[in-house]
Amino acid sequence: MFANYLIGLREGLEASLVVGILVAYLVKSGHRDRLPAVWAGVLLAVLLSLTFGAVLTFTSSRMSFQAQEAFGGILSIVAVGFVTWMIFWMRRTARFLKSELQGKLDAALAMGTMALVLTGFIAVGREGLETALFIWTAIQATGQNTQPVIGATLGLITAVVLGYLLYRGAVKINLATFFTWTGAGLVIVAGGVFSYGVHDLQEAGILPGLNSLAFDVSHVIPPGSWYGTLLKGTLNFSPASTWWQVAAWLAYVVPVMTLFFLPSRSRATAPAAR
């Protein structure tokens, strides 16, 4: 539940911040009457995300076991790619997000209502699709239908509340710190999803080594125990992991975490610019 709460909180707060910037700019620029167009785009994005999750669930349920494993493994790796891109995108553009969005909104205002609907749709749609895909992979990984959904829903609710409070100026959050530490947490979570995706591909017969275990600590961490379930639900940790799974986790987490905490180029060159 925690991993999905984190993804819901992170993605939801990104979307809430973007929508908050759009709404605030329209209100302050005297275009309050154009708000319904933005909210219509937001609603369409939410509906698309829910439909996408339903399509994934329906499609996978009609497949054979081997096809399900291949489908789940490929989509798990795709989900990791999306989340990784999102983490680095926010790290790179957070400082310029407001001015960039305001520029796009000015252009949308000049183009008309449908452009505003599209702006609201894009603002929420990307995060919504990523969240739906990540929740679906979590359900496949844990075998639980309710806890991942509950965790993500609670995260999204928290994000909406925080976004509203930030918009109203009722709370102050160091967003740079928030996105740094949630980003680091998501790298660990994504590493587990990547490892699980590789295991799915092994079960589908696409990758070898299904029975070649790097370690088996099931006697210490029983999969059915509360702590085994906790580790599975938060980190996608498997007490019995193959060499391919371990290699995949290390190949993802080590370089991505290193790159994530390296100073950005703009920061590194800032002193020299003076």
221 assigned to some structural domain: yes
pLDDT at res. 118: 86
The larger pLDDT score, comparing residue 105 to residue 163, is at 163
Confidence of residue 8 (pLDDT cuts 50, 70, 90): confident
Stretch 164-193: mean pLDDT, rounded?
A: 80
Query: What value does the mean pLDDT of the chain take?
Result: 81
For residue 160 the two structure tokens come to 């909406």
98 assigned to some structural domain: yes
Q: Which of 105-109, 210-214, 221-225 has the highest mean pLDDT?
A: 210-214
pLDDT of 68 > 80? The answer is yes
The larger pLDDT score, comparing residue 272 to residue 116, is at 116
273 assigned to some structural domain: no
pLDDT of 123 > 90? The answer is no
pLDDT at res. 249: 94
pLDDT at res. 256: 95
Q: How many residues does the chain have?
A: 274
Residue 84 contacts residue 193 (beta carbons within 8 Å): no
Q: Of 122, 120, 267, 257, give the one whose Cα is nearest residue 180.
A: 257
Q: Of 39, 48, 60, give the one whose Cα is nearest residue 128.
A: 48
For residue 90 the two structure tokens come to 């926010």
Confidence of residue 247 (pLDDT cuts 50, 70, 90): very high
pLDDT at res. 268: 47
Residue 57 contacts residue 137 (beta carbons within 8 Å): no
Stretch 60-68: mean pLDDT, rounded?
A: 84
272 assigned to some structural domain: no
Q: Under 8 Å CB-to-CB from 101, ≥6 apart: which residues?
A: 18, 21, 22, 25, 123
268 assigned to some structural domain: no
Confidence of residue 246 (pLDDT cuts 50, 70, 90): very high
Counted domains in the chain: 1
243 assigned to some structural domain: yes
pLDDT at res. 156: 87
pLDDT at res. 272: 44
Residue 70 domain boundaries: 2-263
pLDDT of 241 > 70? The answer is yes
pLDDT of 64 > 80? The answer is yes
156 assigned to some structural domain: yes
Q: What is the pLDDT of residues 11-61, one digit of tens each?
A: 888 888 888 888 888 888 888 888 888 899 999 998 998 899 888 888 877
pLDDT at res. 26: 83
Stretch 70-87: mean pLDDT, rounded?
A: 88
Instruction: Point out the least confidently predicted range of 54-68, 90-104, 105-119.
Output: 90-104
Q: What is the pLDDT of residues 126-158, one digit of tens each?
A: 888 888 887 788 777 666 667 777 888 888 899
270 assigned to some structural domain: no
